[in-house]
């Protein structure tokens, strides 16, 4: 990052941390990714609004980074500004049967708080390695459960710095999709409407979901989460396994032997390895079953 831009951002009043050419591999769950030209971490909402206005005023492209799951950063890195939200928007607070969570809050932490308060509806989120903001934008879920089912409203920061609140209906929640993608705004947080239940029962369900995830998924190795969306009438993992691709490896990336819809990084994996492996899987599943798999992860 040229020093005059760093000085310009500071002179504009930005109070957060600014890092130049920071490797993003440390910030993604796949542990893969080249450097960000600028990695900026605002300290609060005002700092975030200032950063967004500054980036737009100088014509810098910006992207928002949550926990780095469902994301592949290319080996050559990212130009422009990567905005890391966790410090600025990590608040979680409960009001009756509702929980207000900032976009940077870890989803498992919100689920744990809900369980401790005897609030049901978020148990499925145990172990999902994402933030509230990312989960809301992609309507994250597990099996038949989705976060969109409990979202009451979503707060966003619009271009120019104005904050707005969207009701659930305006977000168009679908399978791993919402209308929040591509709006040019930043999700600031969400209000989750849960239902009162016995705390012991909620905690037991939360623990059961977490245990099931550990048994069925390779949680001990870096991955992005599920690689492919569920195809109509089937499961991506089942198709990949039927194609005999469990254990298939390119470089240090491998189709998990525990769950075939996960690709794990065995140590020194690269984005090129990921894409080569994904393309081989897509080609083989299409050849064998006539199914075109759709990627669930985003590529920067």
pLDDT tens-place string over residues 192-201: 999 999 999 9
Q: Which residue has the higher pLDDT, 101 or 85?
A: 101
Split at pLDDT 50, 70, 90, the class of 4 is low
Bridge partners, residue 19, by sequence:
39
Q: Which of 31, 74, 176, 213 is catalytic?
A: 176
Averaged pLDDT for residues 256-272: 98
Cα-only R_g, the chain: 20
Split at pLDDT 50, 70, 90, the class of 1 is very low
Output the average pLDDT for the chain: 94
Q: Does 123 participate in catalysis according to the annotation?
A: no
Domains of the chain: 3-84 (3.30.43.10), 92-216 (3.30.465.10), 236-299 (3.90.78.10)
Q: Which residues contact 272 (CB under 8 A, 6 or more apart)?
A: 75, 251
What tens digit of pLDDT does each residue of 160-181 get? 788 999 999 999 999 999 999 8
Averaged pLDDT for residues 122-129: 90
Rounded to whole angstroms, the Cα distance separating 132 from 233 reads 29
253 phi/psi in degrees, rounded to 5: -105, 135
The string of DSSP codes covering 117-171 is TTEES-GGGTT--SBHHHHHHHT-EETTEEGGGTEEEEEEE-TTS-EEEEEGGGG
CA 147 to chain centre: 13
Q: Does 3 participate in catalysis according to the annotation?
A: no
Rounded to whole angstroms, the Cα distance separating 19 from 34 reads 14
Q: Which of 226, 254, 256, 271 is catalytic?
A: 226
Residue from 195, 207, 213 nearest 114 by CA: 195
Q: Does 57 participate in catalysis according to the annotation?
A: no
**Residues 25-64, buried b or exposed e (16+ Cβ, 10 A)?**
bebbbbbbbbbbbbbbbbeebebbbbbbebbeeeebebeb
Q: Which of 158, 241, 296, 298 is catalytic?
A: 296
DSSP annotation of 228: B
pTM above 0.85, yes or no: yes
237 phi/psi in degrees, rounded to 5: -60, -40
């Amino acid at each position: 990052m040229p020093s005059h831009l760093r000085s310009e951002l500071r002179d504009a009043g930005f109070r957060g941390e600014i890092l130049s050419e920071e490797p993003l591999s440390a910030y993604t769950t796949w542990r893969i990714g080249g450097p960000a030209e600028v990695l900026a971490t605002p300290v609060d909402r005002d700092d975030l609004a200032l950063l967004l206005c500054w980036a737009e005023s100088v014509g810098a492209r910006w992207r928002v980074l949550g926990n780095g799951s469902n994301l592949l950063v290319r080996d050559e890195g990212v130009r422009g500004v990567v905005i890391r939200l966790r410090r600025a928007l990590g608040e979680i607070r409960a009001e009756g049967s509702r929980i207000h969570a900032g976009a940077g809050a870890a989803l498992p932490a919100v689920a744990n708080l809900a369980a401790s308060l005897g609030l049901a509806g978020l148990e499925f989120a145990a172990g999902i390695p994402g933030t509230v903001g990312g989960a809301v934008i992609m309507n994250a879920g597990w099996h038949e459960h989705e976060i969109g089912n409990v979202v009451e409203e979503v707060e966003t920061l619009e271009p120019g710095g104005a904050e707005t609140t969207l009701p659930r209906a305006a977000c168009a929640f679908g399978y791993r999709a919402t209308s929040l993608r591509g709006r040019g705004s930043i999700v600031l947080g969400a209000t989750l409407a849960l239902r009162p239940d016995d705390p012991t029962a909620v905690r037991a369900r939360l623990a059961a979901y977490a245990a099931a995830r550990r048994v069925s998924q390779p949680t001990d190795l870096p991955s992005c989460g599920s690689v492919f969306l569920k195809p109509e009438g089937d499961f991506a993992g089942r198709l990949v396994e039927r194609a005999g691709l469990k254990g298939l490896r390119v470089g240090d990336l491998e189709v998990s032997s525990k769950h075939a819809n996960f690709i794990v990084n065995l140590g020194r994996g690269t984005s090129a390895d990921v894409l080569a492996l994904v393309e081989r899987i897509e080609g083989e599943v299409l050849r064998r079953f006539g199914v075109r798999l759709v990627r669930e992860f985003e590529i920067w």
